[in-house]
Amino acid sequence: MNVMKNNNRICDILGIQYPIVQAAMSWITDAKMVASVSNAGGMGVLGPNAGAEFEGSKKISTEERLRNELRKIKSLTDKPFAVNIFSPDEGTDDTYTQTVLNIFLEEGIQTFLSVGFVNKKLFRQIKDHNATLIHRELTPTPEAAKMAESEGADIIIATGYDEGGWIPQNQIGTFSIVPTIVDAVDIPVMATGGINDIRGVRAAFALGAEGVYVGTRFIVSEECPASDITKQDIIRSKAKDLVFVSSLQRSTPHKLARELESMYKNGMSPDEEMSLRPGMLEGKLDEGIVSVNTAINVITEVKSCEDIVKELMADFIK
């Protein structure tokens, strides 16, 4: 099956060669990785906590760290890239989001990926700067997608329950949610959740998606700053072994993940967010969690970002 189309709206909107965007993952999507994906013809996205070092290293401010990473990206590629920004629910504290947004605007960022909720104030500020806006609702619904479209979003990401990272709370799989969101809006939709090889890409396009948003596969890349121990853990692990550490995240099964799983099953609310750094970035598997999607069985080796893009986008390469 060849899913290549002569005109792809996502490529046109983002100014990229192939309709693949690297997911913004906390701690492990830094300047080098972002630039590598963009140079390969996709779009890299700078993630939360990008550029942070190991515990005990020199502490720098969020502003300094972000500006450093953005300038590194610009030195490594002249291709389009995006930045991740949390979009808080309206009426909640948005101080951090506003601080980060101001830095991004001052640095001339042209493409934003908002994650969270439809926030009219944030959307308006981004669109007032003539920037492109990709929106990913944490728990996608047709209603939220329509609202994002009406508030100026250029592209919607439809997230399936198969994904790594923060899992949607409606427990609807990628195969079900993608056509639901595609049918709800006129703007193009990207699929995410369990897309680790070309079969996942083809399935996404068969469901009406016009692009893919890929995270877990890029963790197991040469350029990803995740520990080599973490990458090998993902290669060795199987989907059947993943454990829920909360209603929001799965992990490969290690000491802390098992403890969090037990707390979650017993009705407690563990704070798993700070466990990502040791597990994902530092390779301390028993002290952290390794958050991945449910299609990890098909990941068998570490490859360069360029090779991953070529593999997943083979139907688009002329």
Residue of 106, 82, 96 whose CA lies nearest to 29: 82
Residues 6+ apart with CB under 8 A from 182: 158, 189, 207, 208, 209
As a whole number, mean pLDDT of residues 224-234 equals 97
pLDDT for residue 5: 52
* CB-CB contact of 271 with 288 (8 Å): no
As a whole number, mean pLDDT of residues 175-199 equals 98
The share of the chain scoring above pLDDT 70, in percent, equals: 93
> Between the CA of residue 77 and those of 44, 122, 134, 271, 311, what are the distances in Å?
10, 27, 21, 37, 21
User: Is the confidence at residue 197, as pLDDT, over 70?
Assistant: yes
Neighbours of 269 (CB within 10 A): 9
Structural domains of the chain ordered from first start: 9-223+300-316 (3.20.20.70), 243-291 (no CATH)
HSE-CB at 78 with a 13 A cutoff on CA atoms is 0
Answer whether 0.85 is exceeded by the pTM.
yes
* CB-CB contact of 41 with 18 (8 Å): yes
Amino acid identity, position 287: E
Residues 6+ apart with CB under 8 A from 264: 244, 245, 246, 247, 270
